[in-house]
Amino acid sequence: MRAAVVRNFNEDLSIETVSDPSCPDNGVVLEVAACGVCRSDYHGWTGGHPKVQNGSILGHEYCGTVVEAGPSAKYKVGDRLIAPFILGCGSCVACHTGVSNTCAQQIVPGFGVPGAYAEFVAVPYDHNLVYLSDTMSPALAAGLGCRVTTAWHALTDRADVKAGEWVAVHGTGGIGLSVLLLAKLLGAQVVVVDIVDEKLEHAKMHGADATVNAAKVDVAAAIHDITGGGAQVSIEALGIDVTTNASLECLATLGRHVQVGMPSGEGLMQVNMRAIYAKQLSFFGTRGMPSWKYPRLLEMIERGDVDIRPMVAREISLSDASSELRAMNGPTAPGTAVITEFKR
């Protein structure tokens, strides 16, 4: 099969013919219909993720059709499926108690095992997968496995956002945009922070109540003004210290910070502990979403409760993935790129 392989960090992915994946006993092989290009891939591409090395195939936000099923697979050949990026084992305490996104035996294609920047991907633990309806386009569905679901879990399970609250979101990539759309669905007021005016305009067009350009003003002061005393919830969507601190500092007393952005490298940061202490803040980490929450979120999207189409800016070919990763070295345009053409 054709695959985009990491050979040297920060250099173009190498488009190679590699052997087709073998089918796991407890899972399936998907013919990939779409795979999102995510900032977590960028961390791997730059050498900032311990599980991405020479020979790795990135790609953790994918959907596709089953072309081979193992003897103990749940699904069968021909099923169209979306995968959560975290595949829980299904038999440990975490998986049995509804938090499969914390499973210690979890497998994440793209990080440690081959991902979906390829024509085919092997998916073990296929009970995590959910049906993709005929009405949802693969490009739209691809982002659901990571960004939309991570944002939904951060808002509903971690921050427990209430209607009328102010939610600040720092960074308007895939996560940030998802947070905006879903927080509006929950009835929150949303202030969006970025350093690119074009992205702030885009966020305004899609429902942001206010925007702040972090390159021009003091973010925390601006958000205190806009919200009349600070946001109740703040979502950090980049994984760097400047936005983590802006997030903590923009919160009102008893506010809730959710760290969604994946810190790269060792993950050490200088964090404003005084803000946490003095304002008695809550600090949540979050990663992914348990697979049992997928069907209901999918239903909401299919019903039209929320329109996630603004998420997808570009459909690209496999050989274009490198330039998308390279573009993340600097400020990027609104929306995300999804690979939907694997022959080129």
Interface contacts to Zn ion, rule CB under 5 A: 38, 40, 61, 88-89, 92, 95, 103, 146
- State the minimum distance, in angstroms, from the CB of residue 287 to Zn ion: 10
Q: Which is nearer to Zn ion, 212 or 339 (CB)?
A: 339
Task: Enumerate residues 6+ apart whose C-beta is below 8 A from 228.
Answer: none
Q: Which is nearer to Zn ion, 38 or 325 (CB)?
A: 38
Determine the Cα–Cα distance for residues 114 and 28; give it in Å rounded to an integer.
14
- State the minimum distance, in angstroms, from the CB of residue 251 to Zn ion: 26
- How far, CA to CA in Å, does 35 sit from each of 64, 175, 319? 9, 16, 13
Q: Which is nearer to Zn ion, 38 or 113 (CB)?
A: 38
Q: Which is nearer to Zn ion, 70 or 288 (CB)?
A: 288
192: closest CA among 177, 211, 176, 175? 211
Determine the Cα–Cα distance for residues 179 and 15; give it in Å rounded to an integer.
33
Determine the Cα–Cα distance for residues 17 and 15; give it in Å rounded to an integer.
7
Q: Is 20 exposed, middle or buried (0-12, 13-18, 19+ CB in 10 A)?
A: middle
Q: What are residue 338's phi and psi, to 5 degrees?
A: -130, 130
Q: Which is nearer to Zn ion, 138 or 230 (CB)?
A: 138
With tokens 């975490």, the residue in question is 94
Q: Which is nearer to Zn ion, 89 or 159 (CB)?
A: 89
- How far, CA to CA in Å, does 114 sit from each of 26, 186, 194, 290, 327? 16, 36, 33, 21, 23
The first and second tokens of residue 76, run together, are 């069968």
236: closest CA among 201, 280, 192? 192
- State the minimum distance, in angstroms, from the CB of residue 89 to Zn ion: 3
- State the minimum distance, in angstroms, from the CB of residue 261 to Zn ion: 11
Q: What are residue 250's phi and psi, to 5 degrees?
A: -85, -5
- State the minimum distance, in angstroms, from the CB of residue 322 to Zn ion: 17
